[in-house]
């Protein structure tokens, strides 16, 4: 209604700036991004730089859609601020998260990478935020089937980060992700070098930053046995052992060590409220490990608890991010739940 009234106002007074803003806000709230952008372009021709709070309106609406699991629409809303303010660090995170959740891994990879190494201005301070953006970018490059492009981007970045005050540690983190992406493409030379250092405990010869990612990449590339060997050696050694515990549990699950995996998921003490690009929460891990142990009722109960991350219902999304055994078990649980729901519906209809 607001959009219609403001459109009528514009017909009578083409330069009524407030009417433009009202209409754009209404279109954004309604999710009509194309019409909102078309009107925004008209408005900015009249009032360059006058977008005001419009980018924040779109970002808030995108965040609401993320909570409602409407990921594709959230991605479209999250892109709107970036059309006005390209690559702005205040708006890239929501767009990156939405694109990743929607399975648009190419754009997710690019957005996370821009957070790591902006085209202009300094990158975020090195720390957990920067490391996770780097890891999410590499993971998205692999999921998109664009590992070679990711390798090229990370290689080019090494010369840039060397010039930074904290360049040594950033480059070390980039090299770990490079080893992982290369492993994913079948080149295990760099990953084996890291694995040998980890097994020998040569902590003085390599930076400790993100070494657990080597174990993760062995898991991600379908070499769970290597991951299960490496990751326990890093518990208590790397900066965040809770991440290692969770990665180890997923690797054990893929390897078939269901009881050890379930124990790891139960022992994890990380932040359950923290949003992760991968939907690798302990409840889903417990669903899968219960399924592997033949405890199907427990598996379905835990699976229901994961529905705050319905990406698991999307087999293409799961297949792009998780190795074969994990993806197969997830598909089996989804099918069994669908079978039971169909049977319950049929029974209810027969009793009418």
pLDDT digits (tens, 9 = 90+) for 209-242: 678 999 999 999 999 999 999 999 988 777 668 8
The answer to the question of residue 101 being in a domain is no
pLDDT confidence of residue 9 = 42
Mean pLDDT of the chain: 88
State the residue range of the domain holding 53. 1-85
Half-sphere exposure of 212 (CA within 13 A, CB side): 24
pLDDT confidence of residue 12 = 43
pLDDT confidence of residue 123 = 67
- Number of H-type helices and E-type strands within the chain: 19, 0
| Distance in angstroms (rounded) separating the CA atoms of residues 20 and 28 | 12
Read off the pLDDT band of 187 (50, 70, 90).
very high
Q: What is the CATH number of the domain that holds 32?
A: 1.25.40
| Distance in angstroms (rounded) separating the CA atoms of residues 218 and 277 | 19
pLDDT confidence of residue 241 = 81
The answer to the question of residue 172 being in a domain is no
CA angle, residues 304, 305, 308, in degrees to nearest 5 = 100
Domain count, the chain: 1
The answer to the question of residue 331 being in a domain is no
The answer to the question of residue 76 being in a domain is yes
pLDDT digits (tens, 9 = 90+) for 254-269: 999 999 999 999 988 8
The answer to the question of residue 74 being in a domain is yes
| Distance in angstroms (rounded) separating the CA atoms of residues 271 and 267 | 12
The answer to the question of residue 61 being in a domain is yes
pLDDT digits (tens, 9 = 90+) for 123-147: 666 577 888 899 999 999 999 999 9
Exposure string for 174-188, b = 16+ CB within 10 A, e = fewer: bbbbbbbbbbbeeeb
pLDDT confidence of residue 18 = 84
CA distances to 340, 342, 345, 346, 347 from 350, in Å: 15, 12, 9, 6, 5
pLDDT confidence of residue 124 = 67
Q: Is 296's pLDDT higher than 80?
A: yes
The answer to the question of residue 40 being in a domain is yes
Report pTM: 0.89
The answer to the question of residue 25 being in a domain is yes
CA 316 to chain centre: 15
Please count the residues of the chain: 352
Read off the pLDDT band of 165 (50, 70, 90).
confident
Q: Is 304's pLDDT higher than 60?
A: yes
Among 285, 290, 294, CA closest to 249: 285
């Amino acid at each position: 209604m607001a959009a219609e009234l403001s459109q009528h106002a514009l017909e009578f007074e083409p330069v009524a700036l407030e009417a433009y803003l009202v209409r754009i806000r209404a279109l954004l709230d309604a999710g009509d991004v194309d019409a909102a952008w078309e009107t925004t372009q008209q408005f900015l021709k009249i009032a360059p730089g006058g977008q005001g709070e419009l980018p924040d309106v779109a970002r808030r609406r995108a965040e609401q859609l993320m909570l409602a699991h409407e990921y594709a629409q959230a991605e479209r809303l999250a892109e709107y601020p970036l059309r006005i303010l390209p690559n702005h660090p205040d708006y890239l995170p929501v767009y990156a998260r939405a694109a990743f959740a929607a399975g648009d891994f190419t754009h997710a990879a690019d957005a996370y990478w821009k957070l790591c190494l902006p085209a202009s201005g300094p990158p975020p301070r090195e720390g957990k935020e920067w490391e996770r953006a780097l890891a999410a970018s590499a993971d998205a490059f692999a999921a998109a089937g664009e590992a070679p492009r990711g390798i090229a981007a990370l290689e080019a970045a090494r010369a840039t980060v060397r010039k930074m005050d904290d360049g040594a540690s950033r480059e070390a983190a980039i090299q770990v992700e490079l080893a992982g992406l290369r492993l994913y493409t079948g080149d295990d030379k760099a990953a084996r070098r890291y694995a040998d250092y980890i097994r020998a405990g040569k902590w003085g010869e390599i930076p400790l930053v993100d070494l657990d990612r080597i174990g993760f990449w062995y898991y991600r590339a379908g070499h769970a046995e290597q991951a299960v060997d490496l990751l326990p050696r890093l518990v208590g050694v790397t900066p965040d052992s809770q991440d290692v515990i969770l990665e180890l549990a997923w690797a054990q699950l893929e390897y078939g060590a269901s009881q050890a995996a379930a124990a790891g998921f139960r022992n994890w003490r990380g932040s359950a409220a923290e949003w992760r690009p991968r939907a690798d929460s302990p409840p889903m891990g417990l669903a899968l490990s219960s399924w592997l142990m033949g405890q199907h009722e427990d598996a379905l109960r835990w699976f229901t608890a994961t529905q705050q991350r319905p990406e698991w219902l999307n087999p293409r999304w799961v297949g792009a991010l998780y190795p074969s055994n994990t993806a197969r078990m997830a598909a089996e649980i989804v099918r069994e739940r669908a079978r039971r729901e169909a049977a319950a519906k049929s029974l209810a209809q027969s009793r009418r």
